[in-house]
Chain A
Amino acid sequence: MIRETNRHFSFDWITIIIFMLLVGFGWLNILSASHVGDEIDYLDFSQPYGKQLLFIFLTFGLIVLILAIEAKFYERFSSLIYIISLLSLAGLFIFGKNVNGATSWYGIGGMTIQPSEFAKTATALAVAKYISDLQTDIRSIKDQINFFIIIALPAVLILLQNDAGSTIVYGSFFFVLYREGLSRLYLIIGLSVLFLSVLSLKFGALITGIIATTIIFTHFFLQKKKPVILQPILITLTAIAITFGVRFFYENILQPHQKDRISLWLRLENDPDKLAQMRRDILYNLYESEKAISSGGFGGRGFLEGTRTTGKFVPEQHTDYIFSTVGEEWGFVGSSLVVILFVLLLLRILHLAEQQKSQFSRVYGYSVASIIFFHFMINIGMVMGLIPTIGIPLPFFSYGGSGLWGFTILLFIFIKLDSNKINEW
């Protein structure tokens, strides 16, 4: 009897409350962004806000189901879940439905389901399972390759369905592997490549090459115990190759619209009039979403009062651009609150993950935090014009049943695992 009560209360209520706040607040904004006219029929399931209300309602059933299943189930069947998930992604090539140029949907009756939203959970389970295997050593190249394959398989399948945004999210597993002992070299190489790419695009390959060479050789000569001279030379050559390679990739391989996005992001165009024109024409969504956020001011215009939201100035506002509604109607206060809620949720999950006794639970929790963090960073960063346009939803917030359920499953499996840690003593 006492044990039952303990188990009941061992769910992490802080996480659950933040989750509910985000889902609830998200729905209010979907309502604002999708209603037409002044009449609102909450049960009108032809409208996004009505459908989302139904999705949220069904979510509670889903949560009960996830929490009711024995925690061991997730670890035990993780491989199976992963394989089913891969099959569902592969199946899209035969049965998939094309929506907005991406073949990432199954049409079942009147509903559409996006398997990629569930594949993230499956991959997280598979990664956790593989790391927690006693034979695995993350420092060995062989295991590193295996990890790469586990993560890349769903990512490539999704990329082939033309959903580049969802593919990028798989990069979040880097945080997980790094936490579990992946060499620091990968972090340094990753950051260096990113740094060189941006520098090369912004200032040209030649200047970047000179800067890189200078840094590498200065570093070499300042070292007390000098390695063979061949090392800095090789590194320099690699850096220069990357520098020119990025430039070549940008100039010759990228499609014009992708080029424009990067060009705008890095402000490669200097003429301010032309820049403004490009922003209006190419990044119409971003232009409007920034304006909507801006017009919210400090306190916002109030719920259902945003004129840009009412006028549907921002395309896809109830899905990927939902944060611009928050910006316009709830202002700096409301938008900051959403950012803070996400940060608190992520830190809370990290904190819980670090406390896990089993490596499987810890790695899984870490994966959950990393995946949600990637979505949070890319989505809000994009809507505010901080990173190039990449279309992925804001977890718990954006309209869409698959997305909501996918994130709910992802999060609540962890809540279940966490609640079970007492039993693992």
Chain B
Amino acid sequence: MRQILLFFTIIFVGLVFISRLFYLQVYSSPANNLYEDNAIRKVYDYPKRGFVYDRNGTLLVSNQSSYDVMVIPREVKPLDTTEFCNLLKIDKATFLKTYNKAYHYSPRLPSVFVSHLSKADYAVLQEKMRKFEGFYIQKRSLRHYEASIGANVLGDIGEVNVRTIEKDPYYKMGDLIGKQGIELSYEEELRGKKGIKFIQKNRFNKNIGPYKDGKFDTLPTPGKDITITIDAQLQAYGEKLMAHKHGGIIAIEPSTGEILTMISAPTYDPNSLVGRKRSKNFNKLYRDSIAKPLYDRSLLAQYPPGSPFKVLNALIGLQEGVVTTNDKFTCSHGYRYGKRKMGCHGHISPANMNIGIYESCNAYFANVYRRIIEKYDTPYEGMTIWNKHVTSFGLGDYLGYDLKIGSPGRIPSGDFYDKWYGKNRWRTTFTLSNAIGQGEVEATPIQLANMVAAIANRGYFYTPHIIKSIEDQAIDTKYTTPRHTTIDKQNFEPVIQGMFDVYNKGTAASLQVKGLEICGKTGTAENFVKIDGEKTQLTDHSIFVAFAPKDNPKIAIAVFVENGYWGSRFAGKIASLMIEKYINGSITRTDLEKWILTHSLEHEYAKPYSGQPFKINGQTTLEVIDPEEIKIAPQKPTTLKL
């Protein structure tokens, strides 16, 4: 008995030790790599972020340096605070507050003391910095926007958030990452790859030399310059035209699917979100719930497209063989079905397809639409076929462009109505609004522009995209492969002729540009808001789609102006001006330009927030054109740096 006490104690202690070792080294051992080893300091070498050029080689985005004063509280020695505060242009209270905050965060680790010094302050401070132990200046790179355009396209960069860091180990706390626009879409190309140096630390957190003689260190790979499809001149012009209006414009080059302009109004100067004033300005934009400047209307806003959608029904009618270009339909100020009536304005009747399109006759398209759906045994079948045709134009789903935000739009199908009304409990007439682009049909400006591009191409389109080239790298083949619609080529000509006649003698006759064969289509969309819980109608949205020239089209465009009333009133003028500007480089219709620049819709947008009863559409129209209003409209065109 006495012999075994020590014997077992030894074995017991041995087992306890091995269990403890197992716990420390196997069970709870940290992941063993250099990156997570806190005995090794990782110093990153950030490469230059790629520049951004427009389609004509104009530099849009470059980099600028910014200087932050950093502090390591533990290393701070007594200093002349008065002098230091003067240099930094802060008061003593701020100094103490910031210092205590940094100390509280960590006495050992660096904190930002004053961020984004101006170049002048930096120059003065740099020479005196040695006097202030524990403080140092850290350079960082910010974006610089050469022109104050395209905030929604270019996007911005900001500090990476924790969720991204957890998902992608490339990013470390404090790294910058593309947050929106192309900075987000082409983050990986633009950022390059940062280099890293591993430095062995000792227990006093001091560097004692490169780890393993720098065997694992890497050099940074610079970010790639990219060229985007945007035409900066056109973008700037469009933004100028859209001043004092809300809405969106998308212009596409039909032969390539390249997005020429992408405008969301109101917009803001992208430089206002760089540097010291960023958070203040961002909050201001973010809180503006009326104008919503951060909401990209060109990609996100989803509205009933109205009349421009009619041309699709004409195309489908021809494709399905239910109508010829010569078939005529009577219009008696509208179309009656059952006890209901879809109204129309006065025009030649009966109307064939050409007249139907350029007069935008509701009765004509109601008839065509019914023939399409009723060609099949059940409305369900008819709707399914119709849906297949419409969605082949890129409507009703995300388009697949290379920006990270969007809306799917909505194109109803047989299933949609089965769900809505119950199986087989609906008829064609229930869905008749689809004939004229209202009711359940909804689309975004970029979808409409793309639809027009597909018509301009006579039956196919390229997925719209913003990237033109990335240095030596080819762009995704997704953007160079045509997507064909379900409509045969020959069916496009009569429809395009109709759209051409919209300019010749139809709803856009007043918008003609001499020497340009423009095909277009006006549209309006009713819209409602809730005011004090009550559904209230506002002035209609003004919509216009167009492409030009008629043959070998160079530009397809969709313009959308919120509460602009009718199609040719705002959107049509803007579209015509944009087309002329893009194709001819200069403006002959200066009358249209002047009108657009001198007319504001701000008072229209203020109405729902006024708390007063207000009038819409016809009742406000006259007021808008009233000479008085021209006087009150701000005569302050945006300055263009280009």
Contact = CB atoms under 8 A, between A and B. Distances in A.
A327 B25 contact: yes
Contacts of A240: none
A295 B202 contact: no
A62 to B, nearest CB: 26
B179 to A, nearest CB: 34
Contact of A311 (B2, B17, B202): B202
Contacts of B2: 178-179, 181
Contacts of A38: 213
Contact of B29 (A37, A298, A369): A298
B209 A37 contact: yes
Contacts of B5: 175, 178-179, 187
A339 interface: yes
Given A181-B2, A307-B39, A294 B10 contact: no
B342 interface: no
A315 interface: yes
B25 A311 contact: no
A187 B1 CA distance: 13
B25 A297 contact: yes
B203 A373 contact: no
A158 to B, nearest CB: 23
Interface in B1-20: 2-3, 5-7, 9-11, 13-14, 16-18, 20
Interface string A358-396: 000000001001100100110011001010000000000
B202 A307 contact: no
A343 B10 CA distance: 7
B19 to A, nearest CB: 10
A332 B10 contact: no
Given A37-B209, A38-B213, A181-B2, A290 B24 contact: yes
B26 interface: yes
A239 interface: no
A313 interface: yes
B20 A346 contact: no
Contact of B17 (A297, A312, A366, A380): A380
Interface string A161-203: 0000000000000010011010000010000000000000000
Contacts of B29: 294-298
Most chain-B Cβ atoms within 10 A of its Cβ — which of A327, A339, A354, A366?
A339
Counting chain A residues whose Cβ lies within 8 A of the other chain, the interface size class is 35 or more
Contacts of A187: 5
Contact of B22 (A307, A312, A332, A386): A332
B25 A298 contact: yes
B217 to A, nearest CB: 15
Contacts of B202: 311-313
A308 interface: yes
Given A301-B32, A307-B40, A311-B208, A350 B10 contact: yes
A55 B495 CA distance: 102
A346 B21 contact: no
B42 to A, nearest CB: 12
Interface in A335-352: 335-336, 339-340, 342-343, 346-347, 350
B30 interface: yes
B21 to A, nearest CB: 5
A332 B6 contact: no
A402 interface: no
B460 to A, nearest CB: 59
B194 interface: no
A370 B28 CA distance: 32
B426 interface: no
A339 B24 contact: no
A288 interface: yes
Contact of A339 (B9, B14, B25, B32): B14
A376 B30 CA distance: 27
A308 B2 CA distance: 44
B203 A288 contact: yes
Contacts of A179: 2-3, 5-6
B201 to A, nearest CB: 5
Interface string B38-53: 0110000000000000
B416 interface: no
A313 B211 CA distance: 15
A310 interface: yes
Interface residues of B, number: 34
A331 interface: yes
A310 B200 contact: yes
Contacts of B22: 332
A297 B16 CA distance: 18
A127 interface: no
A294 B21 CA distance: 8
Contacts of B200: 307, 310-311
B75 interface: no
Contacts of B20: 384, 386
A326 B201 CA distance: 20
A295 B30 contact: yes
A286 interface: no
B37 interface: yes
Interface string A101-137: 0000000000000000000000000000000000000
Contacts of A332: 21-22, 25-26
A313 B25 contact: no
Contacts of B14: 339-340, 342-343
Contacts of A366: 6
Contact of B24 (A37, A293, A314, A342): A293
Contacts of A336: 18, 21
Given A308-B39, A312-B202, A297 B209 contact: no
A307 B17 contact: no
Nearest to B34: A307
B17 A339 contact: yes
Contacts of A293: 21, 24-25
A297 B32 contact: yes
Contacts of B37: 295, 307
A381 B9 CA distance: 14
A201 B11 CA distance: 28
Nearest to B37: A307
Nearest to A292: B39
Contact of A175 (B6, B21, B211): B6
A311 B37 CA distance: 12
Nearest to B203: A313
Contact of A384 (B10, B21, B30): B21
Interface in B45-65: none
Contacts of A296: 25, 29
A131 to B, nearest CB: 13
A381 B32 contact: no
B10 A373 contact: yes
A340 B22 CA distance: 14
A369 B6 contact: yes
Contacts of B40: 307
Interface in B200-233: 200-203, 208-209, 211, 213
A315 to B, nearest CB: 7
Contacts of A343: 10-11, 14
Contacts of B6: 175, 179, 350, 366, 369-370, 373
28 contacts: A38-B213, A175-B6, A290-B24, A293-B25, A294-B24, A294-B25, A294-B28, A294-B29, A295-B29, A295-B37, A296-B25, A307-B39, A307-B200, A308-B39, A310-B39, A311-B203, A312-B202, A332-B26, A335-B25, A336-B21, A339-B21, A343-B11, A343-B14, A347-B11, A369-B6, A369-B10, A384-B17, A384-B21
Q: Which 5 pairs, one residue from A and one from B, show the smallest C-beta to C-beta distance?
A: A343-B14, A307-B39, A332-B25, A297-B29, A313-B203
Given A294-B29, A346-B10, A386-B16, 13 more contacts: A37-B209, A179-B2, A294-B24, A294-B28, A314-B203, A339-B21, A340-B18, A343-B10, A350-B7, A350-B10, A373-B13, A376-B13, A386-B17
Interface of B: 2-3, 5-7, 9-11, 13-14, 16-18, 20-22, 24-26, 28-30, 32, 37, 39-40, 200-203, 208-209, 211, 213
